[in-house]
Chains A and B, each alone.
Chain A
Amino acid sequence: MAALENAKGTALRYACGNVLSFFILILIGVLAFSIRLFSVIKYESVIHEFDPYFNYRVTQFLTKNGIYDFWNWFDDRTWYPLGRVIGGTVYPGLTLTAGSLWWLLNSLNIPLSVETVCVFTAPIFSANAAWATYLLTKEVKGTGAGLTAAVVLAMVPSYISRSVAGSYDNEAVAIFALIFTFYLYIKTLNTGSLFYATLNALAYFYMVCSWGGYTFIINLIPMHVLLCIVTGRYSSRLYIAYAPLVVLGTLLAALVPVVGFNAVMTSEHFASFLVFIILHVVALVYYIKGILSPKMFKVAVTLVVSVGVVVCFAMMAVLVAMVASSPTKGWSGRSLSLLDPTYASKYIPIIASVSEHQPPTWPSYFMDINVLAFLVPAGIISCFLPLSDASSFVVLYIVTSVYFSGVMVRLMLVLAPAACIMSGIALSEAFSVFTRSIKFQMPKLLDDSDPVPGDITSGNSVVQSNQTKVEKHSAADKSEGTLKERPQKKSKKKEKEPLEKASIKSQIEKKLLVLPLESSVLAILLLVLLGAFYVVHCVWAAAEAYSAPSIVLTSHSHDGLHVFDDFREAYAWLSHNTEVNDKVASWWDYGYQTTAMANRTVIVDNNTWNNTHIATVGTAMSSPEKAAWDIFNSLDVKYVLVVFGGLVGYPSDDINKFLWMVRIGGGVFPHIKEPDYLRDGQYRIDSQATPTMLNCLMYKLSYYRFVETDGKGFDRVRRTEIGKKYFKLSHFEEVFTTHHWMVRIYKLKPLKNRIRGKTKKSKSSPKTSGSKKDERVKKNPWH
């Protein structure tokens, strides 16, 4: 009877809980979307930074020309004269997403511009990512943890940094795809449903379309499968979760032009195939174990193991041979730098030169995931209480992503969801423990203001029946539920006993987990305080740190706000004052922006696919004027663009990037040597700088006429007076310098019409009597 009443109450409670969590989720979505709008409110609705401009340009092309032309797009305006097959070298997920969004809105008669859609794609998808986090965490630890994790993810600074409005980059949709793929994997693992397995493959396909980071999925999931097998957790659900993903996923991944045969030919994917084979071997073993008597099985095991070892050796030999035969050992440079953090800086300057490929500093952890860093260990602990397939997956996820984030700043983004999930679990568990303690002691408190610790055990049955009311949908409840479900499913496989034991054990543990009231209240207060601190930090990060679009800069000084809009000024000048087919050379950072904003052909851009071409530009920038002119002229360059921050103190200018140009140039053209540009190992531009440095093109183009600004030539970035102040350009002419001198554009002078003779002007000879000579003589004071 009591049970019936209880069941009725439970149903009602669940209904209320579901409605409540639905609204909470909507609010989380609104929060995730709106916290990313600071950039639009504080600046304007523009595309940010560098790569988003390329994505924006591609999206424009897609909306204008349709998907087939996009697929076959050969872009002749970048990487002149090589061109770039955009359709085959770009991850199309983001573009297709925004393109279909735009198409959908337009067919609903909502005429938004492509730019608006692109700007708001990232915030929309962060809301999706928050919901996906909810789903994933719910699968792992129940609804409460799910909601907490979703809230935490909605405003984690690391993710905000890549998904503010205007930051139209692959990561914006890829993080959602990543989490959602993981969710579907866990869902399949928990349910053993082939339907979810197929969805999982499709989600994986979307991830492959969106971001090169898909290799993380295709390595992490096999690792988890292997972990399950090793720890004896093999089940048919595991098989269903994994085997279709590999087969369908690989087939689908091979459909994406940029991946193509890489899906089966590069080392990044080998782990998944290896685990696929192992999984089948294990499945076979379990099958044989089922049909054979124990004695026969022993014989079979020895047979299979010996054969298996032989096969494994053969496979390994084949693999090793294949890997060894490829020049980079089958790994792409970026992946190699993941395994060996020092690889890139040692061998590939082009990868090392990108700041987001550098290892992060400790403060950046605190900046990007803030208090989550402290909550993660607690989350890991609660994942082990008890350890399920799903929770072991998130533990594996956090461990690997911590490693990867330590290799590259950029991969902090992969860590962020894992940290959010862990913190969500930790917070939710903590809240449930504390609230349970309070709830348990509340009646006592009302009866008797002096609770006795010894009563805890005696009142357990009451707690047991009442606790669910307080917790509604707490994680503990859910895990208990799943644990109860599992034996039912597993009973077919006759594995009931140990799990029942575990369930009973966990119940006993729970009874013991009642803390003193005061400390519980205090702990809840502290947790709320911690949460508040996190929220404050996140809002600050979203508003101040990560909202600048980097094409418009602002600075606050004593006389108010200064806006530096030099980049757009320069690009507008280029698009209005140069011929359509003119080529503009600059360091590759500005390539995407030049093609997108100025619509001019560039030599190199941010898609650094051809190291030699970049090295050519680097060599030109580090060469003396004449040699640089020859290089640029051979590439039909008409204009050279340099970014110079010395006047206003903009630190990421070309002079600060110059050593990378030297390194990358010198990597291909050995006559460029880095020591020539350094004085005693120091990079300097003052009067102590080396002559090579003072005569190279980058120095000259940056500091040409700079001394005219203040009479001294004081560089406010390097905080020093420049070494060579007065010089003329012989092969270049300045055509445009922006208001704050941040962008300077030079034109290549044409070849001289005539070639002068050898003789110096004969004025030096004593016999001359030229008119100018006469005048000079008259001015001489000694005559």
Chain B
Amino acid sequence: MAMKLSIFVALIALLLPLLSTAFSPETPTDRRILVLLDDQSIKSSHSIFFKSFQTRGYDLDFRLADDPKISLQRYGQYLYDGLILFSPQAKRFGGSLDLAGVLEFVDSGRDLVIAADGAASDLIRDISTECGVDFDVDSAAMVIDHTSYAVSKTDGDHTLIASDEFIQSDVILGSEKIEAPVIFKGIAHSLNPANSLVLKVLSASPSAYSANPEAELSSPPSMSGSSISLVSVVQARNNARILISGSLDLFSDRLFGSGVQKAGSETTFEKSGNEQFVTELSKWVFHERGHLKAVSIQHHKVGEVVEPAMYRIKDELEFSVEIYEWSGKSWQPYVSDDVQVQFYMMSPYVLKTLSTNQKGLYSTSFKVPDVYGVFQFKVEYHRLGYTGLSLSKQIPVRPFRHNEYERFITTAFPYYGGSVSMMAGFFVFTIVYLYNK
């Protein structure tokens, strides 16, 4: 079966080499990414970053941002699975691509990487804003930090920031701890705290602020402190992932290789954390980590196998669901102890933590509450860095049938006795009355 499937997939891949779909587990290897550059030199100056993609099996298509032949889709089919915008200065894209095109691309479930820069164009800013990230409106401003800048040999450039304030998530940044600080040189952005979809991956230190480094600071900076985000990720509701960085240099070979010493700190690192940070983050963005799927939701009465169309109140039932995580190559069982199922009708009547068998199967059993109605089995699993699982399966719960109640109740025996003695008494009375004259 699997063999057949893979042959089929290979056939499709041969026949339609240019067509591709969104993140799909079946065709992980021929995922194509369109890289838009301001100029071709970026391709060489950021070669390590691109190389890491190619070694992981991605197919990169480099284009200049104003290349008139750029098009994301043909005949309604997307040609790429991912888009990397390393073109901070592009005022408009070539070909048919525009702001709406990029957003549609994201809304179709595909991934996006945006790197801005000191001279980021409105187009790049607009795309970021649409994704929930607001760059500093002052186009000349950069992030300046006088306390946690990166000490370099030649001069003290306070716009070259060394930050180690990462998001605390193994899913996003990998299980291996990033020891060295990440060197950042670029513009600040802020996030709307009410926006639950966007995450600050790398934030600035409390002493950072966003201002024009060339000019005198005349008014208080519009953004300051740890509200400044340097690198953010967005996970859209359809699980499309977006990486937005205020600095294109973050991905460059130069910063990958340079040593770093954070101001005020004694430790000098031979190599900055950039490479590890960016590579791990790109793995997350392109779904090599933290992508869950739930399959085969099953429920049935205890002791039965077939799924009923309806439960009765007070039935004992078993519920199970299988959850897997995509590892980049295959679906691995997802192991966690905090997956919960709700038995839900306007509010959860039952809320139970599912127990796992370590092989991806989560199951539990519970008693249907003494309330009838149309219930749902709901699994709402939203964890930092993971794709959200929102499963619901409708199931009606009916009251007892007329013959499912107890026929004789112990407490009612006085009444039974009463009526029987009444009948007997009436019978005796009738006989006495009729024949006793």
Which residues from chain A sit less than 8 Å from chain B, CB to CB? 68, 71-72, 74, 76, 80-83, 85, 87, 581, 601, 634-635, 751-759, 761-763, 765, 767-771
Q: Which residues of A contact B122 (CB under 8 A)?
A: 762-763, 768-770
**Alpha-carbon separation in the docked complex, A761 to B130 (Å):** 9
Q: A72-B401, A581-B394, A754-B132 are in contact. List 18 more A-B contacts (CB 8 A).
A: A71-B402, A81-B345, A83-B372, A85-B398, A85-B399, A601-B374, A753-B238, A753-B240, A754-B130, A754-B131, A755-B132, A755-B192, A758-B192, A759-B137, A762-B129, A767-B139, A768-B122, A769-B91
Contact A759 B345 (CB under 8 A): no
Contact B240 A762 (CB under 8 A): no
Q: Which residues of B contact A81 (CB under 8 A)?
A: 345-346, 373-376
Contact B399 A74 (CB under 8 A): yes
Q: Which residues of B contact A765 (CB under 8 A)?
A: 137
| Chain A min CB distance to B76 (Å) | 19
Q: Contacts A769-B91, A771-B91 given: A757-B132 contact, CB under 8 Å?
A: yes
Contact B396 A752 (CB under 8 A): no
The one of A601, A762, A770 in contact with B91, judged by C-beta atoms closer than 8 angstroms, is A770
**Alpha-carbon separation in the docked complex, A83 to B137 (Å):** 54
Contact B129 A76 (CB under 8 A): no
Q: Can you identify 6 A-B contacts, CB atoms within 8 angstroms? A: A82-B374, A581-B394, A635-B346, A753-B107, A755-B192, A770-B122
Contact B107 A83 (CB under 8 A): no
Q: Which residues of B contact A634 (CB under 8 A)?
A: 346
Contact B137 A74 (CB under 8 A): no
**Is B243 on the interface with A (CB-CB < 8 A)?**
no
**Alpha-carbon separation in the docked complex, A384 to B230 (Å):** 100
**Is B252 on the interface with A (CB-CB < 8 A)?**
no
Q: Which residues of A contact B131 (CB under 8 A)?
A: 754, 757
Q: Contacts A72-B402, A83-B372 given: A753-B133 contact, CB under 8 Å?
A: no
Q: Which residues of A contact B240 (CB under 8 A)?
A: 753
Q: Which residues of A contact B92 (CB under 8 A)?
A: 771
Contact A755 B198 (CB under 8 A): yes
**Alpha-carbon separation in the docked complex, A756 to B396 (Å):** 38
**Alpha-carbon separation in the docked complex, A634 to B392 (Å):** 13
Q: Which residues of B contact A757 (CB under 8 A)?
A: 128-134, 191-192, 195
The one of B129, B238, B372 in contact with A759, judged by C-beta atoms closer than 8 angstroms, is B129
The one of A72, A753, A763, A771 in contact with B236, judged by C-beta atoms closer than 8 angstroms, is A753
**Is B237 on the interface with A (CB-CB < 8 A)?**
yes
**Is B106 on the interface with A (CB-CB < 8 A)?**
yes
Q: Which residues of B contact A752 (CB under 8 A)?
A: 237
Contact B129 A761 (CB under 8 A): yes
Contact A762 B238 (CB under 8 A): no
Q: Which residues of B contact A751 (CB under 8 A)?
A: 237
| Chain A min CB distance to B309 (Å) | 10
Contact A74 B195 (CB under 8 A): no
**Is B234 on the interface with A (CB-CB < 8 A)?**
yes
**Alpha-carbon separation in the docked complex, A770 to B123 (Å):** 7
| Chain A min CB distance to B184 (Å) | 20
**Alpha-carbon separation in the docked complex, A768 to B121 (Å):** 9
Residues 110-138 of B contacting A (Cβ, < 8 Å): 122-123, 125-126, 128-134, 137
Residues 347-373 of B contacting A (Cβ, < 8 Å): 372-373
**Is B310 on the interface with A (CB-CB < 8 A)?**
yes
**Is B97 on the interface with A (CB-CB < 8 A)?**
no
**Alpha-carbon separation in the docked complex, A83 to B195 (Å):** 36
Chain B interface size, under 10 / 10 to 19 / 20 to 34 / 35 or more: 35 or more
**Alpha-carbon separation in the docked complex, A601 to B240 (Å):** 33
**Alpha-carbon separation in the docked complex, A71 to B399 (Å):** 12
Question: Lowest 8 CB-CB distances: which A-B pairs, in order?
Answer: A74-B398, A76-B396, A81-B374, A757-B134, A757-B129, A759-B134, A72-B401, A755-B195
Q: Which residues of A contact B133 (CB under 8 A)?
A: 757
Contact B310 A74 (CB under 8 A): yes
Q: Which residues of B contact A601 (CB under 8 A)?
A: 374
Tell me the nearest residue of chain B to A581, going by C-beta.
Answer: B394
Contact A762 B237 (CB under 8 A): no
| Chain A min CB distance to B98 (Å) | 9
Residues 241-267 of B contacting A (Cβ, < 8 Å): none
Tell me the nearest residue of chain A to B312, going by C-beta.
Answer: A74
**Alpha-carbon separation in the docked complex, A752 to B197 (Å):** 11
Contact A762 B132 (CB under 8 A): no
**Alpha-carbon separation in the docked complex, A635 to B394 (Å):** 13
Q: Which residues of B contact A82 (CB under 8 A)?
A: 345, 373-374
**Alpha-carbon separation in the docked complex, A85 to B372 (Å):** 9
Tell me the nearest residue of chain B to A768, going by C-beta.
Answer: B122
Q: Which residues of A contact B137 (CB under 8 A)?
A: 759, 762, 765
Tell me the nearest residue of chain A to B136, going by C-beta.
Answer: A759
Q: Which residues of A contact B402 (CB under 8 A)?
A: 68, 71-72, 87
**Alpha-carbon separation in the docked complex, A243 to B363 (Å):** 61
Mask: chain B, 370-403; 1 = CB below 8 Å from A; 0 = not: 0011111000000000000000001010110110
| Chain B min CB distance to A582 (Å) | 11
**Alpha-carbon separation in the docked complex, A362 to B399 (Å):** 47
Contact A761 B236 (CB under 8 A): no
Tell me the nearest residue of chain A to B401, going by C-beta.
Answer: A72
**Alpha-carbon separation in the docked complex, A634 to B394 (Å):** 14
The one of A72, A635, A754 in contact with B106, judged by C-beta atoms closer than 8 angstroms, is A754
Q: Of residues A83, A751, A757, A762, which shows the largest number of chain B Cβ atoms within 10 Å of its Cβ?
A: A757
Q: Which residues of A contact B132 (CB under 8 A)?
A: 754-757
Q: Contacts A76-B396, A765-B137 given: A754-B107 contact, CB under 8 Å?
A: yes
Contact B373 A762 (CB under 8 A): no
Contact B374 A756 (CB under 8 A): no
Contact B195 A762 (CB under 8 A): no
**Alpha-carbon separation in the docked complex, A634 to B345 (Å):** 10
| Chain A min CB distance to B23 (Å) | 15
**Alpha-carbon separation in the docked complex, A610 to B322 (Å):** 38
**Alpha-carbon separation in the docked complex, A771 to B401 (Å):** 70
Q: Which residues of A contact B129 (CB under 8 A)?
A: 756-757, 759, 761-762
Q: Of residues A71, A751, A762, which shows the largest number of chain B Cβ atoms within 10 Å of its Cβ?
A: A762
Tell me the nearest residue of chain A to B375, going by C-beta.
Answer: A81
Q: Which residues of A contact B375 (CB under 8 A)?
A: 81
**Alpha-carbon separation in the docked complex, A768 to B137 (Å):** 10
Q: Which residues of B contact A759 (CB under 8 A)?
A: 129, 134, 137
Q: Which residues of B contact A87 (CB under 8 A)?
A: 402
**Alpha-carbon separation in the docked complex, A761 to B127 (Å):** 10
Contact B374 A762 (CB under 8 A): no
Tell me the nearest residue of chain A to B192, going by C-beta.
Answer: A758
Tell me the nearest residue of chain B to A613, going by C-beta.
Answer: B346
| Chain A min CB distance to B362 (Å) | 24
| Chain B min CB distance to A74 (Å) | 4
Q: Of residues A80, A81, A751, A759, which shows the largest number of chain B Cβ atoms within 10 Å of its Cβ?
A: A759
Q: Contacts A754-B131, A762-B137, A771-B91 given: A80-B107 contact, CB under 8 Å?
A: no
Tell me the nearest residue of chain B to A773, going by C-beta.
Answer: B122
Q: Which residues of A contact B346 (CB under 8 A)?
A: 81, 634-635
| Chain A min CB distance to B52 (Å) | 27
Tell me the nearest residue of chain A to B347, going by C-beta.
Answer: A634
Q: Of residues B91, B106, B123, B310, which shows the largest number of chain A Cβ atoms within 10 Å of its Cβ?
A: B91
| Chain A min CB distance to B252 (Å) | 26
Q: Which residues of A contact B345 (CB under 8 A)?
A: 81-82
| Chain A min CB distance to B196 (Å) | 8
**Alpha-carbon separation in the docked complex, A635 to B374 (Å):** 11
Contact A76 B130 (CB under 8 A): no
**Alpha-carbon separation in the docked complex, A82 to B399 (Å):** 12
Residues 167-211 of B contacting A (Cβ, < 8 Å): 191-192, 195-198
Contact A756 B399 (CB under 8 A): no
**Alpha-carbon separation in the docked complex, A771 to B94 (Å):** 13
Q: Which residues of A contact B372 (CB under 8 A)?
A: 74, 83, 85
| Chain B min CB distance to A526 (Å) | 60
Q: Which residues of A contact B197 (CB under 8 A)?
A: 754-755
Q: Which residues of B contact A768 (CB under 8 A)?
A: 122
**Alpha-carbon separation in the docked complex, A634 to B376 (Å):** 13
Mask: chain B, 272-299; 1 = CB below 8 Å from A; 0 = not: 0000000000000000000000000000
| Chain A min CB distance to B226 (Å) | 18
Q: Which residues of B contact A756 (CB under 8 A)?
A: 129-130, 132
